[in-house]
C-alpha cells in the first residue's frame, strides 16, 4: 500500500489530494469497496471517469473531503475536480510513475478537497490534475524522506495555522487546522508551486 499527498495552488482553487494505491486483492480493495458502498450525507464516493463510460485505470475512487455545499460546489467537485483526478491518474500511468502493466490489478483511493468558495473551474481542474499526479509520485517514491519531516518539525504550518516560529501562513488562521467552509485558503498542507502540465 502506497500513500501519497500533494497540495497544489493557492486560494480557494488550491487542491489537496491524498492518494492510497494498492492491489485489488489487498486491504486497499477492502477500503475501496467499503467506501463505495457506504456513502454519507454530502459524501458520495464514486469511480472517476476520463469521459463518461470510460473509468480511469487504475480504477480510482473519488472521495470528497468537503461536504457538497450547493449546486456550484457540486459541479466543481463532480466536474472539474473529477476530471483533474482522472487526468492526473492517466498522466501518472503515461509518464511511467505507475506501471501500465499493473493498471488492471491496482486500485486508487483519492481523497480530494474542493473548497466551497472555489469559482474557477479551469483552475480547480488544473490544480487537481497536478496534485493527483504528484501525490501518486510521492507515494511511489516514498517521499517525503524522514529527514525532511524531522527538519520541518521546527517550522510547522499550514494554511490555517502558523505555529510560533513557523513560516507565515497563507490562510485564515482557523484553529486546529480545520477546513472552514468559505475561506480562500484551501485545505491543509503546505502550498507548493504547480508543476507544468
Burial (0-12, 13-18, 19+ Cβ within 10 Å), 150: exposed
Whole-prediction pTM value?
0.80
Q: Is the pLDDT of residue 14 over 80?
A: yes
144: cis peptide before it, omega within 30°? yes
Clarify whether 16 is annotated catalytic. yes
CB 29 within 8 A of CB 77: no
CB 111 within 8 A of CB 154: no
Active-site option among 16, 43, 73, 154: 16
What does the DSSP 8-state code read for residue 117? T
pLDDT digits (tens, 9 = 90+) for 87-129: 999 999 999 999 999 999 999 999 999 999 999 999 999 999 9
CB 8 within 8 A of CB 194: yes
The pLDDT assigned to 166 comes to 57
| 134 vs 152: which has the higher pLDDT | 134
CB 159 within 8 A of CB 170: yes
Helix/strand/coil (H, E, C) string of 126-181?
HHHHHHHHHHHHHHHHCCCCHHHHHHHCCCCEECCEECCCCCCCCCCCCHHHCCCC
Amino acid at each position: 500500500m502506497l500513500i501519497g499527498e500533494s497540495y497544489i495552488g493557492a486560494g480557494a482553487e488550491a487542491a489537496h489530494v491524498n492518494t492510497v494505491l494498492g492491489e485489488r486483492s489487498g486491504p486497499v480493495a477492502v477500503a475501496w469497496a467499503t467506501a463505495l458502498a457506504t456513502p454519507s450525507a454530502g459524501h458520495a464516493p464514486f469511480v472517476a471517469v476520463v469521459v463518461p463510460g470510460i473509468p480511469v485505470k487504475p480504477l480510482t475512487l473519488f472521495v470528497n473531503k468537503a461536504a457538497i455545499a450547493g449546486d456550484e460546489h457540486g459541479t466543481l467537485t463532480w466536474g472539474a475536480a473529477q476530471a483533474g483526478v482522472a487526468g492526473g491518474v492517466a498522466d501518472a500511468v503515461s509518464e511511467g510513475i505507475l506501471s501500465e502493466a499493473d493498471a488492471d490489478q491496482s486500485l486508487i483511493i483519492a481523497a480530494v478537497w474542493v473548497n466551497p468558495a472555489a469559482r474557477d473551474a479551469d483552475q480547480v481542474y488544473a490544480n487537481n490534475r497536478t496534485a493527483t499526479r504528484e501525490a501518486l509520485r510521492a507515494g511511489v517514491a516514498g517521499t517525503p524522506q524522514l529527514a525532511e519531516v524531522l527538519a520541518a518539525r521546527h517550522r510547522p504550518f499550514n494554511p490555517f495555522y502558523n505555529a510560533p516560529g513557523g513560516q507565515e501562513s497563507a490562510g485564515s488562521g482557523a484553529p486546529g487546522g480545520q477546513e472552514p467552509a468559505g475561506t480562500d485558503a484551501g485545505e491543509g498542507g503546505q502550498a507548493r508551486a504547480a508543476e507544468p502540465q
